[in-house]
Structure 1
Amino acid sequence: MMMRALVLQSDFGIEDGAVSAMKGVAHGVSKVIPIYDNTHDIPPFDIWAASYRLLQTVAYWPVHTVFVSVVDPGVGSERKSVVVKTNSDQFIVTPDNGTLTHIAKKVGIQAIREIDENVNRLPQSGASHTFHGRDIYAYTGARLAAGVITFDEVGPELQVENVVNLPLYEPQWKEDSILGTIDILDVRFGNLWTNIPRELFLQLGVDYDQAVEIEIVNNARSVYRNKMTFGRSFAAIQLGEPVLYVNSLDNMAIAINQGSFAKAYNIGTGSNWRINIKKKS
């Protein structure tokens, strides 16, 4: 029987036993499936960040990998528990609450099934309504990864077009500048990762070491406006200076050399955080 990798992400942190409990459930299903962590440091209830972290990761895992994503502020509500099969033949087990936004848009979803809790729920867990990450998602994900169930046995099929999506703003030209969003932070270093691809940015005709004008807006309020260098790396600028660079996803990003841009200017993420990049005249 082919074993698939099981990759877990959540907003649980690792200060208590929640993540360990999820792994224990998965291990109870099969002692030989490989279990990995994506991250458990997603900010609490931040569905947008959960969605982005999946997009950041899935392309680097083999086909048939099973991802379990548990950021679930609506646990115990009517939101659906689902498994999707993506266009890249991977599986994501998650609440259908917007966590699939980036995957649906950038990767594509072949099919979606609602988890049948009469079959795919940890035995003797029916009285618990607050830890679906352990009782439903880890259990179902492990059963799928171990080959105990097939995708068709997850539960009834749903309509792909009804997947819950968060607002997603596409980067666009506006006169002589490019508008995009601050999609996520490179959290440990406080860098801003935008949704503006390198190829679109290069249409501005900006070369390395040239200056650009940056404006960051939150809900129509200007938060930051200044010029900075477009650099190959942080070595292109002095300590403490800002730089525009290409990140590991081939999108444009902003950093302060050996500092946190996000903390320095109190920058957040999501579709309400817009960035405007303009070639300095």
Structure 2
Amino acid sequence: MSKHLVLQTDFGKGDGAVSAMYGVALCVDSDLKIFDLTHDIPQFNIWEGSYRLYQTISYWPAGTVFVSVVDPGVGTDRLSIVVKTKQNQYVITPDNGTLTHIKQSIGIVAVRQIDEKVNRLPRSGESYTFHGRDVYAYTGARLAAGVISFEEVGPELNVDDIVELPNPLPNLEDGIVHGNIDILDIRFGNLWTNIPRELFLKAGIQYGDSLEVTIANDTQQVYKNIMTFGRSFADSRLGEPLLYVNSLDKLGVAINQGSFAKAYHIEMGYKWKISVRRAPKIIYS
């Protein structure tokens, strides 16, 4: 193992919850290197937890162990699992949809259920509301430190049975590219879609083209306008919208030095749809 342990939660850092997870891990092995992915996932937002893992995991060394705790079902019969990805990394998490993006976009080769008779913090009592500390941080530290192997986590499960959130694939139909608003670039308010650059270019679209962009949720259309496909924000004027390729090689939507999400009250998830096509030519009589 790499001795790298990366933590993600919806706990925030306003109290001692994250610090307790650090302490548990370091008691397992004081040489562990512990990092924060984020602890600012909105409370109970499994979708965003899934995306932030996908956004980050590929840039870490093989053998890195991730612990992700966005767990509105803590204490219920939902499973606690560890998965091994195709890139030879590990994720410890409740089986509640947090692995949706990794399973679909990166790939999972094996999954095991955590045996809490073995992999649970000693003397953690009868508490069933802080699995992030008592089960996940403890098991993650033991795995990252090499105290246990992946096989010693617990019984093997079927990868096909991992819980997934609805996440329709992008598609190209009759010259129109369809996709979802996967996530928001929180600080700048840009929209990050699930439309890969390859699919976009397959439609014959080139930098500098004018495109008609339509955004809708499951109840109504919320935006429709024409904008330019640019290489960078410099390809638009201040305050103008544009399409661009983001850091994950997916299509993004932005306002130059403004928040697109805030301006049009746009959110994220599989219910938020986007379609893009070449702007229709206007014929003046």
TM-score interval, normalised by the smaller of the two chains? over 0.9
Q: Does 1:197 align with 2:188?
A: no
Normalising by structure 1, we get a TM-score of 0.97
Which amino acid counterpart does residue 44 of structure 2 have in structure 1? F
Tell me the distance in 2 between the aligned counterparts of 1:86 and 1:97. Answer: 17
Q: AA paired with 1:190? A: G
Write out aligned runs for 1:1-281 (5 A).
Answer: 3-281=2-280
SS in 2 for 1:12: coil
In structure 1, what is the Cα distance between the partners aligned to 2:43 and 2:278? 37
Q: Distance in 2 between matches of 1:204 and 1:143?
A: 48
Query: How far apart, CA to CA, are the structure 2 residues paired with 1:246 and 1:220?
Result: 28
Distance 1:224 1:126 in 2: 52
For 2:273 and 2:32, locate their aligned partners in 1 and report how far apart those are by CA, in whole Å.
42
Secondary structure of the 2:164 match is: coil
Q: Do the aligned residues in 2 keep the contact of 1:204 with 1:279 (CA within 8 Å)?
A: no
Identity %: 63
The alpha-carbon deviation at position 4 of structure 1 amounts to: 2.2
Deviation sequence 1:23-56 (CA, Å, 0-9, x none):
1111111100111111111111111111111111
CA distance in 2, matches of 1:24, 1:257: 43
The residue type paired with residue 140 of structure 1 is T
Q: Which whole-Å CA distance do the structure 1 matches of 2:140 and 2:270 have between them?
A: 30
Q: Which runs of 5+ in 1 are unaligned?
A: none
Is the contact between residue 191 and residue 253 of structure 2 (CA under 8 Å) also seen in structure 1? yes
SS at match of 1:105: helix
Aligned to 2:283: none
**In structure 2, C-alpha distance between the alignment counterparts of 1:75 and 1:6, rounded to whole Å:** 22
Q: Deviations over 1:190-223 (max 9, x none)?
A: 1100000111111222222221100001004101
Q: CA–CA distance in 1 between the matches of 2:218 and 2:212?
A: 20
Letter of the structure 2 residue corresponding to residue 172 of structure 1: N
CA contact (8 A) 2:2 2:63 kept: no
CA RMSD of aligned residues (A): 1.0
Given that 1:176 and 1:278 are in contact with CA atoms closer than 8 Å, whether structure 2 keeps it comes out as yes
Amino acid of the structure 2 residue aligned with 1:236: D
TM-score (norm 2): 0.96
How big is the shift at 1:280?
1.0
Task: State how far apart, in whole Å, the 1-side matches of 2:157 and 2:209 are.
Answer: 50
Cα deviation code 1:224-279 (max 9, x no counterpart): 11111111111111111111000000000011111111111111111110000111
How many residues get paired? 280
Question: What amino acid does structure 1 have at the position aligned with 2:81?
Answer: V
Structure 1, residues 167-199: CA drift from partner, whole Å, max 9, x if none?
111011121210000001111111100000111
Gaps of 5+ in 2: 281-285
Matching residue's letter, 1:232: R
